[in-house]
Structure 1
Amino acid sequence: MSEARADTAARLARGVQSLLHDMGYDSLCEVKLRSRRRVDVMGINEKGRIVIVEIKSSAADFRVDEKWSDYLEFCDAFYFAVDESFPIDLLPEIQGLIIADGFTGAVVRPAMDFKLNGSRRRNITLRFARTAANRLRLAEASMKETNYVR
């Protein structure tokens, strides 16, 4: 991925996470699924509802992506997130759509409701929690190292 595309994706991820927070979800970027696929943004709300957001930084990014449909069996709702200049007619009309920037986003097309089975929900929720805990541990360790260096 080019540096410009990576910057666009990171900017959109920040906006998506802000929107998800406003919708009542806690979220993480780059969450690895049991299938070894890595989703761009995953959110979980207090009821355990799981949302996955696939960020597309350009039309070319969408055209070469053949993995997004694999995510549908791991969530209750699925969205594509793009910026306002993205040609949205390229995206499947049946999937949810978020238009985002570096600060927030807006749902312009609601996501279909998938019925995630209980054992898969449990597995995904535990993976989400363990990923969050591990990232917190690493961040705290990094902060301690920084404080010792000073």
Structure 2
Amino acid sequence: MTPVCRAAARLCLLHGWAPVAEAPLPDGRRADLWVLTPAGEFLVIESKSGLRDFQTDRKWPEYRAWCDRLYFAVDLDFPPEALPTDVGLIVADGPEAALVREAPHHPLAPARRKSLLARYALLAGRRLALAQDPEAALALMGALRVE
């Protein structure tokens, strides 16, 4: 996880949100942070290492299909005027971050939200179980290589 992404994840925790890093989404994309809020909203936070990273990334609009709000997380050196105004903005300063601009709300359809909630819970639960039992993670990796 990049320093900017780590700072954004810490900000999520301070807000009482549950971030999952490098989360695979249903369309095959991978969100830097896929976040569930206590209100049941899904957020995607796309971390950018610099202006060139943003300028060469054409996939970020596709994340809107999997969240209620979309954010960019950048460091202090990033020129915020380069980012679109219809996304939220999180700015990292070392290990800390601040929510500079709230993202517009684009509510998910109820059926999609239900499907995503199950996907999110399974992903987060599996990661927690493997983090609590590293030997199981090694055994699982070994079993997957055999198959």
Give 1:103 shift. Answer: 2.1
Cα RMSD between the aligned structures? 1.8
The equivalent position to 2:43 in structure 1, one of 24, 47, 51, is 51
Q: What are the equivalent positions in structure 2 for 1:22-101 lying under 5 Å apart? A: 22-101=14-93
For 1:29 and 1:136, locate their aligned partners in 2 and report how far apart those are by CA, in whole Å: 12
Number of equivalent positions: 138
- TM (norm. structure 2) is 0.86
Distance 1:20 1:142, change over 3 A: same
Report percent identity of matched pairs. 36
Letter in 1 for 2:25: L
Helix, strand or coil: the match of 2:85? coil
**What runs of 5+ residues in structure 1 fail to find an aligned partner?**
1-8
CA contact (8 A) 1:80 1:95 kept: yes
CA contact (8 A) 2:130 2:136 kept: no
Letter in 2 for 1:17: A
1:108 lines up with 2:96 in the alignment: no
CA contact (8 A) 1:33 1:39 kept: yes
**What runs of 5+ residues in structure 2 fail to find an aligned partner?**
139-147
* Equivalent residue number for residue 145 of structure 2: none
Give 1:133 shift. Answer: 1.4
The equivalent position to 1:125 in structure 2, one of 101, 105, 117, is 117
CA contact (8 A) 1:13 1:102 kept: no
Letter in 2 for 1:117: A
- TM (norm. structure 1) is 0.84
Runs of 4+ off more than 4 Å: 143-146
